Amino acid sequence: MAKNNAVGWFDIYVEDMDRAVEFYQTVLEVQLTKMGDPTGDSQMMSFPIDDDSMTQYGASGALVKMEGARPGPGGTLIYFGSEDCAAEESRVVAAGGIVVRPKFSIGEFGWVTLCQDTEGNIFGLNSQN
**Burial track 58-74 (b if 16+ CB lie within 10 A, e otherwise):** ebebbbbbeeeeebeee
Residue spans of the domains in the chain: they are: 9-127
For residue 18, which of 45, 46, 49, 47 has the smallest C-alpha distance? Answer: 45
CB distance 78 to 64 below 8 Å: no
Confidence band, pLDDT 50/70/90 cuts, at residue 6: low
Q: What is the model's pLDDT at position 51?
A: 64
Instruction: Give dist(CA 28, CA 26) in Å, integer.
Output: 6
Amino acid, res. 85: C
Q: What is the model's pLDDT at position 111?
A: 94
Q: What is the model's pLDDT at position 102?
A: 97
DSSP one-letter code for 56: S
Amino acid, res. 76: T
What CATH architecture does domain 9-127 belong to? Roll (3.10)
Q: In sequence order, what are the residues at sequence separation of 6 or more whose Cβ sits closer than 8 angstroms to the Cβ of residue 38?
A: none
Mean pLDDT of the chain: 88
Confidence band, pLDDT 50/70/90 cuts, at residue 4: low
Q: What is the model's pLDDT at position 69?
A: 81
| Whole-prediction pTM | 0.85
